[in-house]
Structure 1
């Protein structure tokens, strides 16, 4: 039986957007946001070209069946959704690789803010620099988890008729990955391993899908996907405090 609360999970991203306006958190939102804007500007043209090329290639692989050709508009939509989801999470991966040291510290500050502890950034920059290797390795673990599953779903998405189901699976998978991606920051701060985090989120899967769903949707919207990352980090810290914090010690 699925546990958690889907509708409670939906509220965490909105809370994250409120939290990023807090004075003690703004600096660690602005710096990675500038990095993301530069990254987005460099990649926007290339991603648009790749999107068009992949759509054209996928349509060229369809067999010449009359009934399939009459539904070409539907396959355009389905292939477009699959590719858009790939590109959305691909952008998030790159943004998180660059900003991961900042996001780990942002999650820590957010958790302290939510639990009523005093927020002090005196050792912020030193901690960020020391955490760079560990933060990057954590991102690599998430990429290694993502890639084989993404490839399998991509193959399913290229099979006519089966891609009707594949598009739904893609969306569910991206929602799950967004929750896993961002709740990992507060989990890592508490030294919870990545496999243990997957188990923990699996135990509250409905809440995880509720949190990941709006993040996945926002990640597909240009410009909005620039600001959703720090908001998702803050929302994930709120998720951790309310959904997972009481159980993390037994997972270490």
Structure 2
């Protein structure tokens, strides 16, 4: 039997958007946001330059017919679709890899704001920099968890008739992954292992899916996906405090 409250879970992202406006949290929202905007601006620039060369090459190869030469707008339309897909499915992964040390600290500050209690005693910039390798490895763990399951869903999508349910499975899986992705930040601050985190979320699966659903939808919207990541971190911390408070201190969960 599924436990949790789907509708309560839906509200946590809204809580997160409210929290990122708090003065004490803004710095750790702005820094990774600026880094991500600069990175993706450069990425899209080089993609556009490369795509321009590809279009010119393709148009030179085509016969010199006016209607074929006029198809360059179609290539640019396809480029726009590609960019949208890249934003939808690639942004969250890359943004989390880059911002993981900041997001871990943002989750820590959010929890302190919510509970009034310190999570750790070392809040220096040196501690954040020192935490980068461990935070990066935690992100890699999530990617390794995601890839084989995503591959199974791709295979299901290739099977006639069965592939009719593939879209539903994909959406449910992405919602689950978004919850797992962001609740991991406050969980990691409490040294909860990644397998133990999956079990904790499974214990309140309806709440987890309710939280992950709007995050997955927002991640597909350009511009909005720039701010949804820190909002999701703060919302996930609200989730952690409210849904898993009784399990936080369990020695069996820590790594």
TM class by shorter chain equals 0.7 to 0.9
CA deviation after TM superposition for structure 1 residue 155, in Å? 1.9
Normalised TM-score (structure 1): 0.80
* Structure 1 alignment gaps of length 5 or more: 51-79
Corresponding residue of 1:39? 39
Partner SS for 2:185? helix
Query: Bigger radius of gyration, 1 or 2?
Result: 2
In the TM superposition, what are the counterparts of 1:133-152 in structure 2 within 5 Å?
133-152=133-152
Corresponding residue of 1:198? 198
Corresponding residue of 2:3? 3
Corresponding residue of 1:22? 22
Corresponding residue of 1:157? 157
In the TM superposition, what are the counterparts of 1:154-193 in structure 2 within 5 Å?
154-193=154-193
CA deviation after TM superposition for structure 1 residue 123, in Å? 3.1
CA deviation after TM superposition for structure 1 residue 241, in Å? 0.4
Check the 8 A contact 2:4/2:206 in 1, yes or no. Answer: yes
Q: Distance in 1 between the 2:119 and 2:106 partners?
A: 11
Please say if 1:240 is aligned against 2:240.
yes
In the TM superposition, what are the counterparts of 1:45-60 in structure 2 within 5 Å?
46=47
Corresponding residue of 2:219? 219
* RMSD, aligned CA: 2.5
* Structure 2 alignment gaps of length 5 or more: 52-80
Q: Distance in 2 between the 1:43 and 1:173 partners?
A: 28
CA deviation after TM superposition for structure 1 residue 26, in Å? 0.3
Normalised TM-score (structure 2): 0.79
Q: Which moved more, 1:241-250 or 1:173-182?
A: 241-250
Partner SS for 1:25? coil
CA deviation after TM superposition for structure 1 residue 117, in Å? 3.7
Structure 1 residues 118 and 143: CA distance shift in structure 2, 3 A:
closer
Q: Distance in 2 between the 1:29 and 1:124 partners?
A: 17
Q: Distance in 2 between the 1:27 and 1:171 partners?
A: 32
Corresponding residue of 2:70? none
Q: Distance in 2 between the 1:6 and 1:112 partners?
A: 25
Check the 8 A contact 1:24/1:119 in 2, yes or no. Answer: no
Check the 8 A contact 1:105/1:124 in 2, yes or no. Answer: no
Check the 8 A contact 2:8/2:207 in 1, yes or no. Answer: yes
Structure 1 residues 223 and 102: CA distance shift in structure 2, 3 A:
same
Check the 8 A contact 1:39/1:95 in 2, yes or no. Answer: no
